[in-house]
Structure 1
Amino acid sequence: MQLSDIEAVLFDMDGTLVDSDAAVERAWWSWAVEYGVAPAAALAIAHGSPADRTVRRLLPGLDGTAVAAASARQLALQYDDLSDVTATPGAHELLLTLARLGLPWAVVTSADARLAEVRLRAAGIDPPVLVTVEDVSAGKPDPQGYLRAAELLDVSAARCLVVEDAEVGLLAGRAAGAMTAALKGLDGDLRLDDLTHLADRLESAPASP
């Protein structure tokens, strides 16, 4: 599939549309200290994954109730930590480009609704469609979130571009059958320096025959 064939764009939130990496890492560091986990081990696997998946990997001996409590604690550490949360470079430019091109878009995040809403608000971004971890039964790398977003936009997932900054998210996008665009040096169908790069690529993409 070519970029000119894309009918919708599906974005990850943290690290993709919203620069919240520092807040994410502060929360996981504090959580790890509380739960007796090596902070470096938590930071190595936390980006892009739902909190409960990361908790299970770090503390495999916890039962379901304890995992839920530990996951809730991790999210609670993030809700009010917004001092340096902002839009990523090129995010607003890219969203304006999508509007000019008439391409619908959505945000698909491993955050819960409360965290997603406060972070997007801090970044000045108001998505027309938001799919959070609470909207699916399995988070990334499962494709459910991206499939749900495509359904809500009334577009085939195979005609969507998934934009991600984490390998688990790229796995989810590929599993959904979408074209992928990767930030931070990761491998996608497209490799992006930043979101301005994607805006330029979309503007210059040849029209479909």
Structure 2
Amino acid sequence: MPDATAALTALRASGRLMVMSAVWPRTSTSIMPGTLVRVSTALGHWVSAIRRARGVRSSAAMDLRPAAAVVFDLDGTLVDSDAALDAAWVACGVAPEDITHGHVLAAECARLGVAVEDYLAAYDPTAVVAFPGVEEMLAEIGRWAVCSNKRAEVGPRELDALGWRPEVALFADAFAGPKELPPVLDALGLDAETVVFVGDTDHDRRAADAVGCRFVWAGWNPRVGEHPGDEVAAEPADVVRAARGQLLG
């Protein structure tokens, strides 16, 4: 296939692949030659790249099955933290009209001229609230985890305030840059194709694409909007259906 080819050498003993060379479509996340990756991760990259090159969204094309676990972003997906975020920015002297959401904290602090330490001191993690229907969803979902760009100083405190105990919860300190799913998958002991990732931003969508993981938009967040061709959960209960192997619109 000229638009997505890869030469891979199998390391049978470890069940992993060494990527010797790879050419992916421009829209795909690349794997550098010489990288040791899970077999499922490499194949996920390859299949997702081919689907994107053909204009097919991965979720709509994959063989749906019940998920072994569901991984969630936190802010904007499980919890509505807008009021808490806004209050912290205002306390740091930021004008309300300059506040936006869905960004990596360090980059947003740099944009607004606020020290990260000052923002963290002003942020109240107990002020977040679960989106309607999320508590009921989590009670039915089975195994679940959190993958978030939230700082480790505050993310676990949000979970504690809500009384939530995900099997795995990884925050910004677990990633070299923006959130990524491989550390979460490794902690769960699962491969990407057995997991559903639910999020509300393009960062989340790219994280799922990078490993060939099924992605569902948290459509109950008003900022999510429409995403033709992607799976969108209008309400948290839809995620339960997706986890049971049903395709969402």
> If the TM-score is normalised by the length of the shorter chain, which range does it land in?
0.7 to 0.9
Q: Which runs of 4+ in 1 moved over 4 A?
A: none
State yes or no: 1:55 paired with 2:109.
yes
The TM-score, its normalising length taken from structure 2, stands at: 0.63
Q: 1:42 to 1:131 in 2, by over 3 A?
A: same
Higher relative contact order (CA 8 A, sep 6+): 1
CA distance in 2, matches of 1:202, 1:166: 20
Larger of the two Rg values belongs to structure:
2
Matches within 5 A, 1:55-134: 55-56=109-110, 58=111, 70-78=115-123, 80=124, 82-83=126-127, 85-99=128-142, 104-134=143-173
The TM-score, its normalising length taken from structure 1, stands at: 0.74
Deviation at 1:31, TM superposition (A): 3.3
Q: 1:32 to 1:149 in 2, by over 3 A?
A: farther
CA distance in 2, matches of 1:120, 1:71: 21
> 5+ residue gaps in structure 1?
63-68
Q: Report sequence identity in percent.
A: 29
Q: CA RMSD in A?
A: 2.5
Comparing 130-139 with 156-165, which one deviates more in the overlay? 156-165
**Could you say which structure has the higher strand fraction?**
2
Give SS of 1:94's match: helix
> 5+ residue gaps in structure 2?
1-61, 219-223
Number of matched pairs:
180
Residue of 205, 211, 225 corresponding to 1:185: 225
Deviation at 1:190, TM superposition (A): 1.3
Deviation at 1:204, TM superposition (A): 6.8
Q: 1:81 to 1:156 in 2, by over 3 A?
A: closer
CA contact (8 A) 1:90 1:195 kept: yes
Deviation at 1:105, TM superposition (A): 1.8
**Could you say which structure has the higher helix fraction?**
1
